[in-house]
Structure 1
Amino acid sequence: MQNDTVLAFRMQLNKGNEAEYKKRHDEIWPELSELLKNAGIQEYYIFLDEVTLALFAFQKLSPNADTSGLSSLLIMKKWWDHMADLMEVNPDNSPKVVACPEVFRL
């Protein structure tokens, strides 16, 4: 029986931004990375469908994770502003996210 908490969601990259999106994540700010880890995100993966430019994200959370306050933090908002020109975003520059419910686990 699996006890891990996982989140999966989809975002959308704008055409022509594949390399820049990867570059910015390769250079993720250390303070943002630390913040995500401290919130309980043990693992965070983002995959790109190169045909549709859909971004599929997967997060594994620790049992005591609390990510509820991340969206209100200044560094998170700065990251969203930094990434907004590359992808579909909401009016506050947060990425448009579509939750992907789990339907199978092995």
Structure 2
Amino acid sequence: MTVRLGQIMHVNPNYFSEYEKRHRSLPTKFPQMKKALKEAGAHNYSIYLDKRTGTLFAYLEVDDVAKYREIAQTPGCKEWWHYMAKLMDVNPDESPVTIDLDEVFHMD
């Protein structure tokens, strides 16, 4: 069963371009992160930026939420977080500050 996830994060306004650039280079510069996402069952993953506020909205689908959450323990994920930490609001472990959203409507 596929689970749809929505999350909000924040990127610092001075880093909008760099944030986008780093995500464009993810497949070549951080293939281990893309691989970890795929192995964790993540797919149909998109991130949207509101340039007025720096708010990021992430949408993704996962096969198993618990398995997906395990990605946080992988070396590739921790390396990616470190690489992105300067650009975003982060927790002490450099993971992005993330607000999970509750789905209130979905139309097939």
TM-score of the two chains, using structure 1 as the length reference: 0.91
Of 7, 10, 19 in structure 1, the residue corresponding to residue 8 of structure 2 is 10
> What is the match of residue 90 of structure 1?
91
Percent identity, aligned pairs only, is: 37
Q: Number of residue pairs matched? A: 104
> What is the match of residue 68 of structure 1?
69
Is contact 1:5-1:63 (8 Å) kept? yes
1:91 is aligned with what amino acid? Answer: P
RMSD (CA atoms) = 1.6
Is contact 1:41-1:65 (8 Å) kept? no
| Alpha-carbon distance in structure 2 between the residues aligned to 1:22 and 1:11 | 14
> What is the match of residue 59 of structure 1?
60
| Alpha-carbon distance in structure 2 between the residues aligned to 1:12 and 1:68 | 20
Segments of 4+ in structure 1 off by > 6 A?
Answer: none
Structure 2, unmatched stretches of 5+, are none
Deviation readout 1:75-99 (Å, 9 max, x if unpaired):
1111100000001000110000011
TM-score of the two chains, using structure 2 as the length reference: 0.89
| Alpha-carbon distance in structure 1 between the residues aligned to 2:65 and 2:20 | 30
Structure 1, unmatched stretches of 5+, are none
